[in-house]
Amino acid sequence: RKEVEQDPGPFNVPEGATVAFNCTYSNSASQSFFWYRQDCRKEPKLLMSVYSSGNEDGRFTAQLNRASQYISLLIRDSKLSDSATYLCVMHTGGFKTIFGAGTRLFVKA
Amino acid sequence: EPEVTQTPSHQVTQMGQEVILRCVPISNHLYFYWYRQILGQKVEFLVSFYNNEISEKSEIFDDQFSVERPDGSNFTLKIRSTKLEDSAMYFCASSEGLRGPNYEQYFGPGTRLTVT
């Protein structure tokens, strides 16, 4: 089983839609979780950290479910500029970071 | 806003040659990382560096690779004898710490390495 699994998509949604991504992980020792976005041929950019209590940043909401070992990202009121690949990222408390393969999102006008 | 910088943006080299990729992490960050991303594939961890030594490395980071912090600002990745399969985008990242939000890593724009 892969350490981090994401639905590769692509998700094709109209502007204004709500879209949700999930990411599952296999290592129960994983401690810190993040969502990054990556535009084509660019560096990953931090979107938000993910906390057990859930956290929200504007149109973005992230949740962590340790019992089921998954994290989620909800994007409300999608914009054209949200089109990107969304990367689920975690580390196990050591110095190693594990990236998911990413979920591609296309927001259409 | 402080940012991670990397040079060069694109490096072309012949198989068997040595390359050095350079990074300047964010100034108050203490942890430094190198990643690679082969075109169309996921980002892969190579190595982390703290307190002037390697903290952890992946199975990709073999004897051909080395890292160094030669001065107070630069962080370098050296590939001793490049292979065709080393062609990839190499990202440098840095973080302030290792716990919670302090572990948020900030990435440089990357160096595209092409081995011919």
How many angstroms separate the CA atoms of B50 and A91, rounded? Answer: 16
B86 secondary structure, DSSP code: G
A78-103 tens-digit pLDDT: 999 999 999 999 887 677 889 999 99
* Residues of chain B numbered 33-52 and touching chain A (CB < 8 Å): 33, 35, 41-45, 48, 50
How many angstroms separate the CA atoms of B39 and B46, rounded? Answer: 16
B63-91 tens-digit pLDDT: 999 999 988 789 999 999 999 999 999 99
3-class DSSP string for chain A: CCCEEECCCCEEEECCCCEEEEEEECCCCCCEEEEEEECCCCCCEEEEEECCCCEEECCEEEEEECCCCEEEEEECCCCHHHCEEEEEEEECCCCCEEECCCEEEEEEC
CB contact under 8 A, B45 and A96: yes
Residue B100 pLDDT exceeds 70: no
Q: Which residues of A touch B43 (CB under 8 A)?
A: 38, 44, 87, 99
Q: What is the CA radius of gyration of chain B?
A: 13
Nearest to A43 among B45, B100, B109 (CB): B109
A53-71 tens-digit pLDDT: 889 999 999 999 988 999 9
Q: Are A42 and A83 in contact (CB under 8 A)?
A: no
A22 pLDDT band, cuts 50/70/90, is very high
pLDDT (average), residues A34-49: 94
Residue B74: count of CB within 10 angstroms of its CB: 14
B16-51 tens-digit pLDDT: 999 999 999 999 899 999 999 999 999 999 999 999
CA distances from B13 to B80, B95, B110 (A): 12, 30, 16
